[in-house]
């Protein structure tokens, strides 16, 4: 798909979104998290065996041989000191996992296995029992199992083509939890909700929705991110209470105006609160004039109680040296400007330069982010 076609699709989606109301309703579960309810990172060092000659070269990775010697000694196998084992089917790996909140002993979690030596591939390998420790050095899970490595080698045009990374893989449910982590989310009878992004309007709307739903003043916004909620006294009621809190819908205030431009592909993405002011632009063979004037709307039927409404209308006129003319009457949104520029054949670089100039001149009422 060409850049111009991508722009048309994106702008069509933006213009379609402009038809919907600005105030959306989201669940508190999607807007905030409960303070204290979090995952914990686990890490361990282990060995992968059973590789098809693609393991570590022990001369370049001496820790692999040392680890294998220590493991065999624990299993009752004594290796003569000074032995130089030329192994090709063993690889030293780092094992990581995330221990979910409220995880109990006996439950399983996924683990990620990554080579730390010079192994060519971990495909077909088996991870030996590996203790997984937390930040405090305590063992919280034991990992073991057969690796699932994504990617395969394919022959194309007489040359080998490698797809994806072969020095890493995962074991679904490959670790068994041995110790739980105490999860404390109620302190002094209060539960703290942390918004995913700081916004005073969202925080106030969440507080209003909670107080309105439960019929009393149970929620208070400490700042733009943290909201404190009074928890029920009975432990048997707390789970049901949090379930109601998480599924409560909140009307969101209009988002901060933002325009994101991908300088490499020319992709432009903007939200519905972006507006433009009066400006005149001359760039290459393009000439753009954006003017604003008051428009009076009077009721059509005489002798009625209709009211006269005065609104701002923005006219956009664009012309290229080839004579193409584009006129747009709009409610001052940037989507029409970009659409008209695209119709005139503006390149992605021209579009980026025009948006940057509009922002510098103060005519673009939005944050401009270039990626």
Q: Which domains does the chain have, with CATH numbers?
A: 3-21+256-298+309-370 (no CATH), 40-177 (no CATH), 186-251 (3.30.1360)
Q: What is the CA radius of gyration of the chain?
A: 31
* pLDDT range class, residue 202, cuts 50, 70, 90: very high
Sign of the C-alpha dihedral computed for residues 95, 98, 102 and 107 taken in this order: negative
> For all residues of the chain together, what is the average pLDDT?
78
pLDDT at 76: 85
DSSP state of 31: H
* Cβ atoms of residues 96 and 127 within 8 Å: no
| Nearest partner of 124 among 174, 51, 48, 46, judged by Cα | 51
Report the 10 Å Cβ neighbour count for 327. 10
Average pLDDT of 276-283? 71
Average pLDDT of the residues in 199-227 = 92
Question: Are 253 and 202 within 8 A, CB to CB?
Answer: yes
Which residues touch 32 (CB under 8 Å, ≥6 apart)?
A: 193, 194, 195, 196, 206, 227
Mean pLDDT check: name the lowest of 122-126, 139-143, 270-274. 270-274
Nearest alpha carbon to residue 124 among 143, 97, 152:
152
Whole-number pLDDT of residue 7? 43
Helix axes 334-343, 3-17, angle to 10 degrees: 150
Q: Which of 32-41, 185-194, 203-212, 334-343 has the lowest mean pLDDT?
A: 334-343
pLDDT higher than 80, residue 153: no
Backbone angles phi, psi at 151, to 5 degrees: 110, 155
pLDDT in the model for residue 92: 92
Quick one: which H or E segment has residue 203? helix 200-214
Closest CA to 115 of 60, 175, 173, 39: 60
pLDDT of the residue at 307: 63
Average the pLDDT over 212-232 and give the result: 91
**What is the Cα–Cα distance from 358 to 356, expressed in whole angstroms?**
5
Answer yes or no: is pLDDT of 103 > 90: yes
* Reduced DSSP (H G I as helix, E B as strand, rest coil) percent helix, strand, coil of the chain, to 5: 20, 35, 40
Task: Determine the pLDDT at residue 255.
Answer: 80
pLDDT band, residue 2 (cuts 50/70/90): very low
Confidence of residue 118 (pLDDT cuts 50, 70, 90): confident
Question: For residue 98, which of 49, 55, 40, 56 has the smallest C-alpha distance?
Answer: 40
Provide the pLDDT for residue 58. Answer: 75
Q: How far apart are CA 93 and CA 78, in angstroms?
A: 23
Please report the pLDDT score of residue 158 as a whole number: 42
Encode pLDDT of 19-64 as tens digits. 434 445 789 999 999 999 999 999 999 999 999 888 888 777 788 8
- Cβ distance 342 to 4 under 8 Å? yes
As a whole number, mean pLDDT of residues 151-167 equals 54
**What pLDDT sits at residue 363?**
77
E strand or H helix at 241, and its extent?
helix 235-246
Reduce the DSSP state of residue 291 to 3 states and report it. Answer: strand
Alpha-carbon separation of residue 299 from 129, 204, 304, 330 (angstroms): 80, 38, 8, 21
Query: Does the structure show a pLDDT above 70 at 263?
Result: yes
Cα-to-chain-centroid distance, residue 17 = 21
């Amino acid at each position: 798909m060409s850049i111009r076609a991508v722009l048309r699709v994106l702008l069509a989606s933006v213009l379609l979104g402009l038809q919907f109301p600005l105030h959306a309703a989201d669940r508190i579960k999607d807007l905030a998290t409960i303070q204290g309810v979090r995952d914990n990172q686990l890490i361990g060092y282990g060995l992968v065996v059973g590789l098809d000659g693609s393991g570590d070269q022990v001369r370049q990775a001496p820790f692999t041989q040392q680890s294998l010697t220590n493991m065999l000694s624990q299993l009752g196998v004594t290796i003569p000191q000074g032995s130089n084992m030329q192994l090709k089917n063993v690889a030293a790996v780092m094992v990581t996992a995330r221990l979910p909140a409220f995880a109990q002993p006996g439950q399983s979690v996924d683990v990620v296995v990554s080579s730390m030596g010079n192994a060519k591939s971990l495909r077909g390998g088996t991870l030996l029992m590996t203790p997984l420790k937390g930040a405090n050095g305590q063992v919280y899970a034991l990992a073991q199992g057969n690796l699932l490595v994504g990617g395969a080698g394919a022959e194309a045009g007489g040359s080998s083509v490698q797809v994806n990374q072969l020095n890493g893989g995962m074991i679904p449910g490959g670790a068994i939890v041995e110790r739980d982590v105490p999860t404390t989310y109620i302190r002094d009878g209060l539960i703290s909700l942390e918004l995913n992004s700081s916004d005073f309007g969202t925080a106030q709307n969440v507080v209003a929705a909670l107080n309105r739903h439960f019929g009393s003043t149970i929620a208070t916004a400490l700042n733009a991110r943290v909201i404190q909620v009074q928890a029920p006294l009975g432990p048997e009621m707390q789970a049901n209470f949090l379930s109601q809190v998480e599924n409560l819908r909140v009307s969101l205030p209009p988002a901060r105006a933002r325009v994101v431009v991908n300088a490499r592909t020319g992709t432009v993405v903007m939200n519905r609160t972006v507006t433009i002011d009066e400006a005149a632009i001359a760039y290459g063979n393009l000439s753009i004039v954006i003017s604003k004037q008051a428009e009076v709307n009077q009721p059509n039927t005489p002798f009625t109680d209709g009211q006269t409404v005065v609104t701002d209308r923005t006219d956009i006129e664009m012309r290229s040296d080839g004579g193409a003319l584009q006129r747009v009457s709009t409610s001052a949104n940037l989507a029409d400007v970009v659409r008209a520029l695209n119709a005139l054949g503006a390149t992605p670089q021209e579009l980026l330069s025009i948006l940057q100039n509009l922002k510098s001149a103060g005519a673009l009422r939005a944050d401009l982010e270039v990626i």
